[in-house]
Amino acid sequence: PGTTQDILQMPRDGPEIRALRGSRIGKIFQEPMTSLSPLHTIGNQVSESLQIHTPMARVERKAQAEEMLSLVGFPNPKRAYDMYPFELSGGLRQRAMIAMALICRPALLIADEPTTALDVTIQAQILQLLRELQTKLNMAMLLITHDLGVVANVADEVVVMYHGEIMEAGPVEAIFRRPGHPYLKGLMAAVPHFDLKPGE
């Protein structure tokens, strides 16, 4: 507290970076079915970060995990705590992943393609949930996506990367109004437009 440290200067597997991962930085992975363990209950997986980063009694961990499951939209968090991933729909599995990432109340949430493999309705619900949680928990969010519709609806600032290098960066409206790099122009041209006239 009170000091700054360059995260890039920390050893990759050192104690400092391990203390940040999961506690100050949360991550939502692309595919919840392969990211969640099929052998452990949802409650066990959500409370695991608390066990690692915030020592507390098992009863307290369970209560906090159930509270987080409720916060991310599980209709019956007590029941969900004892369920396994295969018993949940795709949308609820993704909500479980969000609960795991947020259980320690991180300052930064990294969401890597959080709506992959979800239908459009569930995608919209998950994105809305992330925006609400970002405000409620007062955290920054880094959203990684190739979906320009998601970017337009969720992002404030955009960084366009191509082959691992930053091509453009700025406010979302400015980037979309005046795309400079051919890669971004190509992505925008590939998005279907339903207001086109015949021949356009």
Distance in Å from the first CA to the final CA of the chain: 57
Confidence of residue 195 (pLDDT cuts 50, 70, 90): low
Mean pLDDT confidence for 63-89 = 96
Helix (H, G, I), strand (E, B) or coil at 73: coil
Rounded Cα distance between 58 and 56, Å, is 7
Question: Which domains does the chain show, CATH number per domain?
Answer: 10-155 (3.40.50.300), 157-200 (no CATH)
Name the pTM for this structure.
0.82
For residue 45, pLDDT over 90 is answered with yes
Rounded Cα distance between 64 and 85, Å, is 19
Confidence of residue 100 (pLDDT cuts 50, 70, 90): very high
Rounded Cα distance between 7 and 162, Å, is 23
